[in-house]
Amino acid sequence: MSNQWGQCIASSVLEGFANYRSTFTYITLGAKKRFESACWLDVQQASMDRINLYDDAVAAVTDCLTQEVAQGYTQLSIWKDAKRFYAELVRSRTDGELAETFFNSIFCRIFRHYEIKPENLFVFSTQPKVKAADEASIIISYRPAFGLVKMVDRILMDFSFAIPYADRRQDVVNIIRTAQHQLGFVFADSKDMEIDIIRSVFFRNKAAYLVGRVRIREDTKPFIIALMNNEKGGIYVDALITDPDEVSIIFSFTRSYFMVDAPVPAAFIAFLQDLLPWKQRYELYNSIGFYKHGKTEFYRDFVQHLDKTDDQFVIAPGVRGMVMIAFTLPSSQTVFKVIKDNIAPQKEVNKETVKKKYYLVKMHDRVGRMADTQEFSHFVFPTDRFHPELLAELLADAPSVVRVVDDLVIIDHLYTERRMIPLNLYIKDATEQQLDAVLDDFGNAIKQLAAANIFPGDMLLKNFGVTRHGRIVFYDYDEICYLTECNFRRIPPPRFPEDEMAAEPWYSVGVNDVFPEEFAIFIFADTRIRKCFTELHGDLFDASYWQRIQQVIREKEVVDVFPYRRKRRLARRMGEPRIQAREE
């Protein structure tokens, strides 16, 4: 009977996974039509719909299993059999690693992460390594046998759309000139040069990307062509990106997931790692929409990292949060965040509100300015890896979700995100040049968040981080809200001289009222830094600036926020939005 139940569980889980993948692929494949028809609001909706798919599929399978194998539903011995049968069933799939993660999700939904052992579920993957043939199957290769013009023209023709290129000849010239400028002698009529491009187009927001690499002998460079719809019936090449750091920003953890058809996900990841060798596998799986498998890859990396290191988890650098306890392992690049049981009274939020804010960020377009987070339940740590001060704080401030069992610390709910340097700490040691650059980018970050209908709420410098690229990213979400929910007002002039001396304001203040004039003093205690920022982004202190952005959003205009700098945009300017957020 155990074998029979095990087979039943394996079959049910695989059927649920196949249904999930089918719907996931259907939504993903629709990205091309949405791009061609410039249905930008539909693009945003599809992104949200696809994120919700996974949890819905796991819930559906779990409900099904309770009915099909009610008696053996929670017997570990049956699940061990189920894992063995399941491994055989998914062995021939091209997305076997995703199928294993789906099995793990079902198991953890039932056993609440208490039995995470290799014999019960796929703690480590049983899938074979990617073969050269797998990678070859996902790319198209080009050589300039008949010259650069014909080769680049062939690339654009191979990746055609239902609407034509507005001026393909100009696009070809732009690509060649830009490539020769950026790559020099590498990009030439040489029999040694080859361009490999992934067959599937990467769609996100209002752009489509052809993702590939240029190879000449032992030298490899990224080769990313950004395509835009001019909203007048034509496609055009907006940028060519060949700098690895700039490609890294396009695939950043601060951006929405790509819509890209990836029938062999592991091969896609292998190719992308060739372009971005410093990025972790879990980050790349996240970037192409498989964020649940990204969690699996993260956990595997985490376990291996613990085995190779001996440092202790400590309280994360920076100002202590009133809502979250943030801690990190100094040898890693991850911050773990736990919601406190008793949130400071100044913060008018509770645990459920904070969770909703983090969910909002997961679902929303992050425009390169909000850190992606992964949510975990029942995360297990070795007790001896915790600094006593940190463990004492966790047990004192979050006892409902943190407990010590034998030699383990179990945290029932936490978030992980990439570690960055808090902006307030970065500024303390910044040179004049660094200060100017980071303040300018801080203003750009606020404006780009506004363009995406996001108001940070608490804009103190401690709530923003600086990445290794020197970019500003928002990471504290407990006061985040939609920009259109705010009522931006100017402070009324005082009625009498005594008004300015009064302890209370002489004007009424509603729940959603925001007074941008107060930002300067509220954010910048240092008058020198305040003056510098005002010269760069003084418009942020004017209520009318925010009101204009609100008007654009209410008119359903989706504002462009490009993942590359203005100087990377090619000479042609077509279909610019009425109000455009500044590029990074």
Q: Say whether 233 counts as a known binding-site residue.
A: no
Q: Say whether 294 counts as a known binding-site residue.
A: no
Tokens of 512: 């959603």
Tokens of 260: 């890209």
Tokens 């010269």 correspond to: 535
Q: Say whether 143 counts as a known binding-site residue.
A: no
Q: What is the DSSP letter of 259?
A: B
Judge whether 272 and 250 are in contact, CB under 8 Å.
no
Q: What's the Cα-to-Cα distance from 459 to each of 228, 306, 352, 524, rounded to whole Å?
A: 33, 35, 22, 10
Tokens of 56: 């819905």
Q: Say whether 510 counts as a known binding-site residue.
A: no
Report the alpha-carbon angle 122-363-441, nearest 5: 110
Q: Catalytic pick from 81, 153, 171, 372? A: 372
Tokens of 187: 């990009």
Tokens of 59: 């819930």
Residue from 299, 300, 282 nearest 414 by CA:
299
Q: What's the Cα-to-Cα distance from 550 to each of 483, 487, 506, 537, 579, rounded to whole Å?
A: 7, 10, 27, 18, 11
Q: Say whether 320 counts as a known binding-site residue.
A: yes
Q: Say whether 324 counts as a known binding-site residue.
A: no
Q: Say whether 69 counts as a known binding-site residue.
A: no
Residue 194: which residues within 8 A CB-CB, separation 6 or more?
141, 142, 143, 214, 215, 216
From the number of C-beta atoms within 10 Å of its C-beta (0-12, 13-18, 19+), residue 133 rates as exposed
Tokens of 45: 């909706």
Beta strands in 433-489 (DSSP E): 454-455, 464-466, 472-474, 481-482, 487-488
Distance between CA atoms of residues 363 and 427, nearest Å: 31
Beta strands in 97-184 (DSSP E): 139-142
Q: Say whether 531 counts as a known binding-site residue.
A: no
Q: Which helix (H) or strand (E) holds 51?
A: helix 40-68
Distance between CA atoms of residues 49 and 57, nearest Å: 12
- Length of the chain in residues, anyone? 584
Q: What is the DSSP string of 266-284?
A: HHHHHHHHHH-TTS-HHHH
Provide Rg for the chain, Cα atoms: 26
To the query of whether residue 49 is one of the catalytic residues in this protein, the response is no
Secondary structure class of 335 (helix, strand, coil): strand
Binding-site entries: 316-322, 337
Binding-site entries for ATP: 316-322, 337
Return the active site residues: 372
